[in-house]
Amino acid sequence: MKKLFLTLLFGLFISSNAMAKTPFTTEKFQQAQHAEQLILIDIYADWCPTCRRQSKIIAEYFTENPESKIQLLTVDFDSQKEWVTHFKAPRQSTLLVYNGFEQVHFSVAETNKERIFKILRDAEQAN
């Protein structure tokens, strides 16, 4: 029981201290593109269990890689439909990576930690 409690407590610590979600705005996206930054677009819905799993994995990535230059922008699936359409996201839990203006990754419902970490590491190494 004590081990379970410590595991849950650690999980809360990780999620509360990991990189905060930055709400997507046109201005933030365009600024990051013009600065030729790496951008992770997370098409997210609060009610989506897959999105929550992805979010925990992404938070772990940033916790393990505090020097990461990736800017995380979260598109609200329910209230930012114009951007959901713009990114051609078939549903919530869509992840896209941009290197400046170039889209370098697109996935839907990916929850494998190793694959998500590889996608992000590969993008950073290519930058």
Look at residues 107, 110, 71 and name the one whose alpha carbon lies nearest to residue 90. Answer: 107
Tell me: the pLDDT tens digits for 40-70?
999 999 999 999 999 999 999 999 999 999 9
Structure-token pair, residue 30: 């365009």
Tell me: the pLDDT tens digits for 33-47?
999 999 999 999 999
Displacement of CA 4 from its chain's centroid (Å):
27
Domains and CATH numbers, the chain: 26-126 (3.40.30.10)
